[in-house]
Chains A and B, each alone.
Chain A
């Protein structure tokens, strides 16, 4: 809805600062804000030096934020952020690892590689600061060695990691619209004939969800001949006039079997014309004829809704809530910045992180109940942030049989710890629940035990040593971006002593680290 309003708004201005209407929002203190920016843009905590710098001079914060936008970690972080909306990182596709004769230990790697392909392409385009339009125009995709083996792509010999690759099966250049990962996630049946895929395109790229429209089938004409009705019944045509021509452009991804690896890895140029035959309509983009997938990306890029949707998507990702209709002016300002900067996503990310909604850490005393209900002034770490930060601090990453336990639901804890599974849970969790508390506790215990056992913390330190207090003060600052006070130091020292008395110093340090990793100041940002 908001995307539609924005698209209908006045023509884009070339430059304009975001509208600032702080209302009841109270900004975070500079070190905590830097922490938020670092977690959102890099997935890790800021260094102690960086925190020191913004504490001493908050005006240095924008420069550090800009450096984060150029940090190589931005690309990986965007994969996770975009996954919350694109929902391609599912645990199950129609095809499984064994369909490609892969070893069982590659099950998780296979699932994530396939689901991340379109996300990696978008993230790379942002990381290279290329125009957002490239996501639907690029003549390449991203692949890792596993995909290089099983998909028709020219993966560089001797290459490592995710690399830009070209398709070798004759598919047109259409960025994510030509990706296997997107269409493995959004499949189509014999009777659906790519219509659900068309709906996915408009939802993801235009923020227009055809499937959210109320419909009824309760008419004889629809029941008697539904395929005829979509061409003649006014109620059906309201959506199908746009959906079917778009679906017609996707028949290069028409598979004769949903469970055939040979069918699903390849694009089928020879089937492109089947859409016209099966659906009875030629490919078109909202009434504008197109030749098929080869024109589709250009049609999307020529639609003003694509840009407003990009703004809405990033706003939701970073505000951790959807924007409201009352925030129309703020979104319009962001859109103008985005357009003025040649639709480069880094400029938009920069502008969004400047908004009061992003920077809010509290609400003023006069905030109304609706403000408290709407605003997310304190956000829970997402599973990828949690996993990454704990690993950076303790060296521990929770994996099992090759599965990242913070990043899957079949064996692990992604949704249980507040994440998105792409099917039933579409939005990140906002407040702690039982399973969240359990998973964060067990992860903290494992990380803490691992750090104490592997010497990441000097378990020889004990209360009374100067370094004992120094270590704790330093950890407090690093983990929370807040200075430790005497009361906390006293309490945590008492915890150390109580555990040490019966279980020794290593267990004592594990307990101290564990409670630090379970602290709300650590688990929120």
Chain B
């Protein structure tokens, strides 16, 4: 099947989007995916994980709390904290460690949840910044119709808010698409027929085109954005029967494996560049363990089990151009903060400004751990540079062929992460 025969995007949509390149064959793509082709799955672990349970062995510290039964281990090139309660962690690194790069000692520069989320995702504490996925998506030269899909989790946006597609806390997007949202009302109404809707769309598009011809400088972005949004909606309308966009739960928590599957379905159709998922811990109880520290272990065990399922799903998929989707997708696993090396009065751990992130897959030099914590729990510099949230961002932007220098002054990608 040739790219222009692809059944999922209409010719009109292609022309409207100016996205001829979206489906055009790329030479040598199968051998080496271009950075500009990369897609990103962000998996946010909300609440602040205790990196000493997996990523940052603290056995060299005299003061840090050491989990009973924990031992330092290595698998797949990853040095980590092993424990009998977390077999999925060991199994994951044994099987996938060669695709993983763990970044330790990432300083977020705050200990407040809200601010840390913003800092780890934007590198800036002030309002008005776009986060890494939104930026990567907005600057994707392929201009996919659903640039950054937020299935769950945070999305900080300013310039690129219109490039973010939120599925909604209760799965509102699919109901808006199929019109059932109109029935979900105290005064239910019925959507127009498909024919009427098409007539209305045509009228509206002609009207916007007329306005564009007459509008003066400054007024174009709104009209052009409207036209693009209509086109994106029409693209998605054609896929509504193929995509599972509704929210799925597994037991007492959100099913992040299903969410990842939705993201991959969008990726393999060339519809999106980025997606955000959130793992809120065992039964949605979060990672914010000021007490009940044992839940960290439960969370990690579940998280790595889910990651294994997510990567297995990814490995079985094929991208738009026929190359394995795994060659295009980078998975970014992160949390907004870490937890103190020492216990508090409630046998829990308070917030800590140093955290870890794990990058998996396309473009990543796997089988390595970069950075670490010293005996006091402070982040160690990498190549003489303390690693901040902005460095993580610069690395991700570079992975996605977006010049970090245009977004982050004086911040370089973390050395050695990118293959």
Which residues of chain A have a CB within 8 Å of any CB of chain B? 24, 26, 91, 189-192, 196, 209, 211-220, 223-224, 322, 360-365, 367, 371-372, 375, 377-378, 380, 396, 398-402, 405, 409-413, 415-416, 418, 423-427, 429-439, 441-442, 445-446, 449-450, 487-488, 491-492, 495, 498-499, 502-503, 507, 510-511, 514-515, 518-521, 523-524
Contacts and interface: CB of A to CB of B under 8 A. Distances in A.
26 contacts: A220-B376, A362-B217, A362-B219, A363-B218, A364-B217, A367-B217, A372-B218, A372-B221, A377-B219, A398-B185, A399-B187, A400-B185, A410-B170, A425-B157, A427-B128, A432-B225, A432-B226, A433-B163, A434-B165, A437-B232, A441-B233, A488-B207, A495-B199, A502-B195, A507-B192, A507-B196
Contact of A411 (B125, B145, B169): B169
A520 B353 contact: no
A218 B170 contact: no
A518 B181 contact: no
A511 B125 contact: no
A434 B236 contact: yes
Contact of B161 (A218, A398, A430): A430
A218 B353 CA distance: 9
B155 A223 contact: no
Contacts of B203: 491-492, 495, 515
Interface of B: 107, 109-112, 114-115, 117, 125-128, 145-146, 154-158, 161-166, 168-170, 172-173, 176-177, 179, 181-182, 184-187, 189-193, 195-196, 199-200, 203-204, 206-208, 210-211, 215-219, 221-223, 225-226, 228-230, 232-233, 236, 290, 344, 350-351, 353-354, 376-379, 386
B128 A409 contact: no
Nearest to A416: B166
B378 A220 contact: yes
Query: Of A24, A217, A411, which is in contact with the most chain B CB atoms at under 10 Å from its CB?
Result: A217
A503 B196 contact: yes
A409 B189 contact: no
Given A426-B127, A434-B232, A519 B204 contact: yes
A24 B164 CA distance: 31
B184 to A, nearest CB: 5
A413 B167 CA distance: 10
A449 B166 CA distance: 26
A412 B172 contact: yes
A445 B218 contact: no
A69 B196 CA distance: 42
Contacts of B114: 423
B410 to A, nearest CB: 13
Contacts of B176: 413, 416, 435, 438-439, 442
Contacts of B145: 434
A375 B218 contact: yes
A521 B226 CA distance: 12
A437 B107 contact: no
A111 B96 CA distance: 45
Contacts of B378: 217-220, 223
Kindly name the residue among B117, B157, B162 whose own CB sees the greatest number of chain A CB atoms within 10 A: B162
